[in-house]
Chain A
Amino acid sequence: MRARLLLLIAILLVAVSIGGAALPEQTVWSGLIIASNSPPTEPTPAEITQIEEALRKLFGYSQFQLIGEARKTLKTGEEDWLAASKYFSLQVDSRGEKADAYVLNLKLFQEQKLLLETKAKLSKASPLIIRGPQVGDGQLVIVLVVQ
């Protein structure tokens, strides 16, 4: 009888531990990037290196400078955060997880002006890239990645 009870407890513990591992916390990285062809002043941020080639092909720029970023660990899937630079800010409102993706409401502000509003299903395996306004001789690019 005692052996059976121990076996049952062991099975339940394994189930709970596996269940805990089944829903890992994930982090969404949001970055405000200035893409340009000017000489590099800083190394390319690690978060961009995985999509650097895609960014080059898309925009035709060779350098990517990070001017603002935010890294948010999603526990419930319904969190808010802000990635900001001096003049731009990206407000992110996570609306939960659906089919292996996070539903996000995004608002891009230039100071107080709302430039763009979008709703996206950010897949855990597919970054989102947004082309923003021209800034000097470069381009504002917004990137969101699930890490």
Chain B
Amino acid sequence: MKTFEEKWTAWVDDQLTGRELEEFLASLPDRAAAEAEKQSAKQLGSFLRKQAVALSNADFFNHQLRERLDRERAPARREPDVVRTGWWTIRRLLWGSATSLAVFALCTFVVLREKTPPSQSQYLTEILTYRVDPTVSPNATISMFQKKEDHVTVLWVEGLQSLPAEYATK
């Protein structure tokens, strides 16, 4: 059983025939107004079909629209890209720091090693303090000197008590 709206649509599209058409026309309260409305609907349909032909290049408009949207979104999207693709990322910064520390440690040790070669020392031994016990050796005197040609430092003590030869025992 069709509703009135379904019958109306079918009538506007000239799909109603026979007895169904007669019953529908009989049910219309104002047939003249209905006919006018039918013509108006047909004209509108005709117009829309013409426009649909004119809009057959819809892909082109879609493409234009997408490009415009992309342009509008582009600045907001490029900013994180710069952060992500920049050379000094956090990871590279960490690697750079670690490598720099390693190179620094290497250089420090090389410099320290070159600075303290025992055979290259040019310093002579120094006597800082000296003392003899005056009660044990009251006549003792001490002097110190450096023999630069032999590269030795001498602490010269005089006046210590002489001892017998047996003190030379091992």
Contact = CB atoms under 8 A, between A and B. Distances in A.
Contact of A128 (B110, B122, B129, B155): B155
Contacts of B95: 4, 8
A126 B66 CA distance: 87
A33 B120 CA distance: 28
Nearest to A99: B123
B102 A65 contact: no
A46 interface: no
B128 A18 contact: no
Contacts, number: 186
Given A88-B167, A125-B123, A18 B113 contact: yes
Interface in A54-72: 54, 57-58, 65-68
Nearest to A137: B165
Contact of B119 (A22, A125, A133): A125
A11 B103 contact: yes
B168 A126 contact: no
A110 B124 CA distance: 28
A71 to B, nearest CB: 16
Given A87-B169, A115-B132, A22 B116 contact: yes
Q: Which of B120, B122, B128: most chain A CB closer than 10 A?
A: B128
Contacts of A68: 170
B112 A22 contact: yes
B98 interface: yes
A134 B167 CA distance: 10
A74 B89 CA distance: 48
Contact of B113 (A22, A86, A135): A22
A69 B46 CA distance: 126
Nearest to B104: A15
Interface string B145-165: 001001111111110111111
B137 A125 contact: no
A20 B151 CA distance: 29
Given A115-B136, A116-B157, A122 B105 contact: no
Contacts of B161: 133
Given A15-B105, A116-B131, A124-B118, A135 B167 contact: yes
5 contacts: A8-B102, A22-B113, A101-B121, A126-B124, A134-B163
Interface of A: 4, 7-8, 11-12, 14-15, 18-19, 21-24, 26, 34, 36, 51, 53-54, 57-58, 65-68, 85-88, 99-101, 103, 110, 113-138, 140, 146
